[in-house]
Amino acid sequence: MMLPQEIIRAKRDGKTLSDQQIEFFVKGITSNTVTDGQVAAFAMAVYFNGMNLSERVALTQHMMHSGSVMNWDSLNLPGPVVDKHSTGGVSDMVSLMLGPMVAACGGYVPMISGRGLGHTGGTLDKFESIQGYSTSPDMQTLRDVVKEVGVAIIGQTGDLAPADKRFYGIRDVTATVDSIPLITASILSKKLAAGLSALAMDVKSGNGAFMATYEDANALAESITKVANQAGVRTSATITDMNQALGSSAGNALEMVEAVDYLTGKRRNPRLHEVTMALCSQMLLLTGLAKNQNEATQALQKALDSGAAAERFAKMVAALGGPTDFIEKPMRSMPVAPVILPVHSAHSGYLQEVQTRDLGLVVVELGGGRTDPAAPVDHAVGLSQLPAVGDRIEAGEPLAMVHARDQASAEKASEQLLNSLTLGKEKPGQQTVVYKTINPEQAAGLTVN
């Protein structure tokens, strides 16, 4: 007979748990036959003693199967089902363009996205800034939109990996979130429950990332690729920079506008473009939709230049309840902040460094983010026209714009934004945006301790 406390004891003592022990414990998390205290103790034991590869795979698979697992076979889709996941950051709107771009190249993207928490923005919040857009359609609608449009970006349903929801909530209040085996299982259990044939991971590294150091980001990337491929889903991980905002805006409706401008070709921030193309390319390469990097780049550029990606985006928005003319007139169906204040620096110089987490918290304090998962957000507020590291800033000239509910909060945000930026006399060197990618073949040769 298995007992939760004996499984905890084994992991506490540094032993390797069997598949059966992990299955029993995950079933207990889902059914509430394991107490919050026992879940917390198990998480702490893993935090200190880790998990080997077989344990990580077992934890991921049993959490994935704790609820329903989507299956797309009955739709007879003429292309692969593929998705991407980012570990989060500031101004990370890649998903908004990536889904339609990959769909225009023959992929099918059922993207289950999340809300923002802390200093990181959430894809779901960005779509909820569009009047009428449904982020929680019924399962039949989701399947219909994926089949007809090729992409549907929605929120997590309650029956996808329910074990993770309870487990994460307990980890969040017991200082056990930052455990690589537990992060791996949490991310992958939800993504793999979406019935994917391939997954492209974006692991952020830098002062605005969950993994602040490159070493930690690399360890997570190696763990995710090793576990996911072992679990039967072709997965790559790309490590990208989060030492400054990824795009030119931060805030839900503002990022949605930037995404529309990107898709229509009005403006493409170079950093944002590099990361978006890198991840989209991985999705095409993982699924065989492109044979090599050059072919992937050409296909994606054609999807943008021809308007095919923008058309997919417009169709998805309309199919999920949003306006039919969103691409042409995005601001007609999104909220606008009543106060828009230019931010001026008292000094001239080159932007040397950004405290990216602090930048994200400016948006949170304006009301555009949350510290409580259940709290509402103000979709209109945020920052736009953000400078990039290396940009020349002149005293007295606007360096960014604050979008706020009132003058007082706009002025406070302006001061906080300036405090997050460091200027200097010398222009800094070229900033790395994409550090490296681990593909499935490389993952096979990795050793995960």
The per-residue pLDDT for range 268-309, each reduced to its tens digit, is 999 999 999 999 999 999 999 999 999 999 999 999 999 999
Fold of the domain spanning 335-424? Aldehyde Oxidoreductase; domain 3 (3.90.1170)
Give percent of the chain above pLDDT 90: 91
Catalytic site includes residue 33: no
> Are 206 and 212 within 8 A, CB to CB?
yes
The residue from 11, 56, 62, 84 that is catalytic is 84
pTM of the model: 0.95
pLDDT tens for 115-141 read 777 788 889 999 999 999 999 999 999
pLDDT band at 446 (very low <50, low <70, confident <90, very high): confident
Query: Is the pLDDT confidence value at 424 over 90?
Result: yes
Catalytic site includes residue 91: no
pLDDT tens for 57-101 read 999 999 999 999 999 999 999 999 999 999 999 999 999 999 999
Q: Where are the domains of the chain?
A: 4-49, 73-329+434-444, 335-424
Catalytic site includes residue 271: no
pLDDT of residue 50: 97
Catalytic site includes residue 123: yes
Catalytic site includes residue 126: no
The residue from 191, 226, 268, 379 that is catalytic is 191
pLDDT tens for 194-235 read 999 999 999 999 999 989 999 999 999 999 999 999 999 999
The residue from 87, 95, 123, 205 that is catalytic is 123
pLDDT tens for 228-273 read 999 999 999 999 999 999 999 999 999 999 999 999 999 999 999 9
Domain 73-329+434-444 has CATH 1.10.3430.10: no
pLDDT of residue 121: 80
pLDDT of residue 277: 98
pLDDT tens for 158-178 read 788 999 999 998 998 899 988
Catalytic site includes residue 19: no
pLDDT of residue 1: 62
The residue from 95, 113, 184, 186 that is catalytic is 186
The residue from 11, 65, 85, 234 that is catalytic is 85
Query: Is the pLDDT confidence value at 16 over 90?
Result: yes
pLDDT tens for 380-416 read 999 999 999 999 999 999 999 999 999 999 999 999 9
Catalytic site includes residue 85: yes
The residue from 62, 119, 165, 190 that is catalytic is 190
pLDDT of residue 75: 96
The residue from 115, 171, 234, 268 that is catalytic is 171
Mean pLDDT, all residues of the chain: 95
Catalytic site includes residue 427: no
The residue from 30, 60, 86, 205 that is catalytic is 86
Catalytic site includes residue 74: no
The CATH architecture of the domain made up of 4-49 is: Up-down Bundle (1.20)
